[in-house]
């Protein structure tokens, strides 16, 4: 099986790809961490497993123990589950992030088009969800492309010595602040967001500039074979700078900020607090 890192709202989710069955398996503890934001998602999962076993749930049975790389660089046996099992698990955890995470999991079908037999099914499912939310076909196409570009970049980081969720988040923050002039947290605050995915609320211009920053970061990193955090941080700054110049020129031509406080979806219950 091939291990790599996926990203959800700048947080790492470890996963394995089984080429024989063409199935992604995700770290259950990482998903629990996203849902609960618990300081000890491992303890939360252990208690939840006990409760689910008593209830006779098949979710625990469908979770398998496989070795994944921890933050210390060593591999440890960790509970993993496929997307279908995780959908059922998410229903057992009250969380305002449940729906965004379900959507993110639904996107797995096309995140790695080369590694799936029928990517059209995953794409069609995600398109239907976004269309139901009122998104335009143009925005949906851009969002699909943005996911591919984002995962291409995080795959590069994962293969070139970037370790742990803290380093992934820091590199993301460098690229974002360099092109936009504000941090991810400040950008979410501008839109009045707390729990929802920032990219799902970006305007066309914001999304395109984000993609330009990330594709530039990857190409610059590849050109010098950037390895480790420091070298990739330098590439992230330069890549973000390419998009910053584009943003500044756009703002000069239009007389308007490329950043907007407008969001695409109604606030979640968490955002309304």
User: What is the arithmetic mean of pLDDT over 48-72?
Assistant: 85
| pLDDT reported for residue 264 | 63
153-178: pLDDT as tens digits: 988 998 898 876 678 888 999 999 99
Highest mean pLDDT: which range of 6-20, 53-67, 177-191, 240-254:
240-254
φ/ψ of residue 40, rounded to 5: -140, 75
Token pair, residue 236, equals 């992230």
φ/ψ of residue 125, rounded to 5: -65, -45
Highest mean pLDDT: which range of 36-40, 89-93, 151-155, 249-253:
249-253
Q: How far is CA 237 from the centre of its chain?
A: 20
Dihedral sign, CA of 28, 167, 96, 145? negative
Specify the range with the lowest mean pLDDT, choosing from 50-54, 77-81, 111-115, 136-140.
111-115
Specify the range with the lowest mean pLDDT, choosing from 40-49, 110-119, 157-166.
110-119
User: Taking Cα atoms as reference points, which of 81, 74, 21 lies closest to residue 49?
Assistant: 81
Cα–Cα distance measured from residue 119 to residue 252, given in angstroms and rounded to the nearest whole number: 40
| pLDDT reported for residue 108 | 59
Token pair, residue 154, equals 């995080």
Residue 34 burial (CB < 10 Å; 0-12/13-18/19+)?
buried
Cα–Cα distance measured from residue 160 to residue 194, given in angstroms and rounded to the nearest whole number: 31
Task: Match 């199935």 to its residue by tokens.
Answer: 23
Contact residues for 266 (Cβ-Cβ < 8 A; gap 6+): none
User: Does residue 148 contact residue 220 with C-beta atoms inside 8 Å?
Assistant: no
Residue 113: is its pLDDT beyond 50? no
- Domain boundary assignment for the chain: 2-97, 137-254
Specify the range with the lowest mean pLDDT, choosing from 3-17, 146-160, 249-263.
3-17
């Amino acid at each position: 099986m091939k291990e790599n890192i996926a990203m959800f709202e700048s947080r790492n989710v470890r996963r394995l790809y089984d080429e024989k069955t063409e199935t992604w398996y995700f770290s259950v503890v990482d998903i629990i961490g996203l849902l609960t934001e618990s300081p000890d998602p491992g303890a939360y999962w252990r208690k939840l497993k006990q409760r689910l076993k008593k209830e006779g749930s098949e979710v625990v049975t469908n979770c398998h123990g496989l070795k994944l790389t921890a933050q210390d660089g060593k591999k440890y046996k960790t509970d993993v589950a496929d997307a279908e099992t995780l959908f059922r698990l998410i229903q057992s955890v009250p969380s305002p992030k449940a729906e965004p995470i379900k959507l993110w999991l639904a996107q797995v079908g096309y995140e790695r088009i080369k590694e799936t037999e029928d990517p059209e099914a995953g794409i069609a499912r995600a398109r239907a969800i976004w269309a139901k939310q009122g998104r335009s076909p143009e925005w949906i196409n851009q969002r699909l492309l943005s996911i591919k570009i984002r995962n291409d970049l995080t795959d590069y980081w994962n293969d070139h010595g970037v370790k742990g969720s803290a380093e992934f988040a820091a590199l993301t923050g460098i690229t974002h602040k360099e092109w936009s002039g504000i941090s991810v947290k400040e950008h979410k605050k501008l839109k009045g967001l707390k729990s929802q995915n920032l990219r799902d609320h970006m305007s066309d211009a914001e999304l395109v500039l984000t993609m330009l920053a990330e594709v530039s970061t990857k190409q610059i990193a590849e050109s010098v074979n950037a390895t480790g955090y420091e070298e990739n941080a330098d590439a992230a700054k330069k890549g973000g700078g390419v998009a910053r110049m584009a943003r500044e020129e756009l703002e000069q031509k239009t007389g308007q900020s490329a950043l907007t406080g407008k969001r695409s979806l109604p606030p979640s219950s968490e955002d309304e607090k």
